[in-house]
Amino acid sequence: MRAGRTPFRRGAGGIKDVKLGDVVASTKVYGYESGKADTEFLPRPEVAWSSYRLEQLAKAESREREWIIRIGQPVPKALPRAYVGPIAAGEKVISSKKSDVYKFLKRQYSDALAMEMEGHGFLQSVRANAGVDALVIRGISDLVEKKRSSDAAGWQDHAARHAAAFAFQLLARLTIATARSDRSLWKLTLDATLDKVGKEKAETIIAQLSSFSKSLKLKLVAVDPGSVVLTIESSREDFEVVSALIQSRRLTDIDGIRIISISLADGDEANRQPHPNMAPAEPIVPNVEKPTARVGVEPRRPSAASPIKIKPLGGRIIVRRQEAQVATAGRRRQE
C-alpha cells in the first residue's frame, strides 16, 4: 500500500439504517465523550473529518457492487451494502438500546450510522501528518442488542472481511490513479529527417536509451509527423536521468544521430511544476565547477568527462545513475 493513503477497518455496532454485515465508510467521526458534566451532560462534540478525496471515492464505490467480489468465499447469503456517513466514537461498549448512552447518541447524534471506539483518535492522529488521506471503514458486527449472540454467530469475522473487501476496492482505484500520475511524457528532438527516423528506427533508439540502466523503462508513444521529435513515456525519475546525461553533454548522439534537445511534453504536470532536482535545459554549458573557499578544505577539481555515443544494439553500455546526478549537481552549483 502506498504511503499517504490510510484506510482504517474494523467492526462496529449499527445504529441507523444498517444491518449485520453492511459496511460504513466515514464522512466524519464524532467524539461523543467530550462535554461538560452539569446537572445533565452537556455535549461539546469533537468532529474528525475523513479526507474529501477518499470520501468521494467511497461514495462512488458504494453505488457499485464490484467490491463484493473481493469478499471471497463463502459468499454471504444476504449481500451486504456499503454506506457512507457519520460514525460516533467513544470509550464505552454499548450493549442495550435502553441504556442512557444509546439514548443520548440517538438524541444528540441522530445522523450517525454506527458506533465504535477508535475511529476518532485515528483521524485525529492522521491530521497531524500533512499530505495523508484517511478514511474509517467499519463492518457492522452487531446491532447493539444481542451482541453476544452476534459474536457467537461469527459476525465479527464477517464484518472484518466485508470492511477489508471495501477497503481493498478503494486502494485498487487509488493505485490505478497513482500509477498514471507518476508517468511523464517527454520529447526527444533529433537532428535527422523522417526518412532516417521512422517507427522502427525510433524503437531502436528507445531500446538503446534503455540500455543505460536496468531501472530505465521507456515507452515510445509517437513519432511526430513532419518532424524528428520522438514522444516518449517513462517515469519522472527516468526522464531526469536521461535529461541529466544530455544536458551535461555526456550523451550527445544515438547511433550517429545527434540529439538536439530533451523536454517535457506540453501539458505534463511536471512541465508546469519543475522538479527541484532538474537543471534547466538551456543554456548547455561545460560541466566545470568553480572552486569554493572553505577553511581547511582543498577544493575539488572535476575530471574531464568524455561524451557518450550510443553504439548499435550489438554493444552493451552501462552508465551509473550517480554519474548523471553528479553532472546535474555540478551545473546547479555553477549557476
Task: Name the helix (H) or strand (E) containing 161.
Answer: helix 155-181
Band of the pLDDT at 230, cuts 50, 70, 90? confident
Residues 6+ apart with CB under 8 A from 66: 169
Q: Tell me: the pLDDT tens digits for 307-325?
A: 444 444 343 333 344 444 4
Instruction: From 301, 299, 302, 319, select the one nearest 310 (Cα to Cα).
Output: 319
Radius of gyration of the chain measured on its C-alpha atoms: 29
Contact between 129 and 51 (Cβ < 8 Å): no
Residue type at 90 in one-letter notation: G
* Strand 308-310 to 251-254 pairing: parallel
> All domains of the chain, ordered by start, with CATH?
5-180 (3.40.50.1580), 182-334 (no CATH)
Q: What is the mean pLDDT of residues 231-238?
A: 81
- Is the pLDDT confidence value at 132 over 70? yes
317/321 Cα distance (integer angstroms):
13
The 8-class DSSP code of residue 290 comes to: P
- pLDDT at residue number 5: 54
- pLDDT at residue number 2: 42
Residue that is written with C-alpha cell 457512507 in the block? 84
| Model-wide pTM > 0.75 | no
287/285 Cα distance (integer angstroms):
6
- pLDDT at residue number 60: 92
- pLDDT at residue number 177: 56
Q: Average per-residue pLDDT in the chain? A: 75
Residue that is written with C-alpha cell 546526478 in the block? 325
Contact between 89 and 31 (Cβ < 8 Å): yes
- Is the pLDDT confidence value at 201 over 90? no
Categorise residue 267: left if φ over 0, alpha if ψ from -120 to 50, beta otherwise.
Answer: left
- Is the pLDDT confidence value at 82 over 90? yes
- How many helices (H) and strands (E) in the chain? 9, 14
Band of the pLDDT at 116, cuts 50, 70, 90? very high
- pLDDT at residue number 325: 45
- Is the pLDDT confidence value at 87 over 80? yes
Residue that is written with C-alpha cell 461498549 in the block? 93
Band of the pLDDT at 254, cuts 50, 70, 90? confident
Judged by average pLDDT, the poorest of 51-60, 102-111, 112-121, 222-231 is 222-231
- pLDDT at residue number 182: 67
Residues 6+ apart with CB under 8 A from 34: 43, 44, 45, 46
Categorise residue 145: left if φ over 0, alpha if ψ from -120 to 50, beta otherwise.
Answer: beta
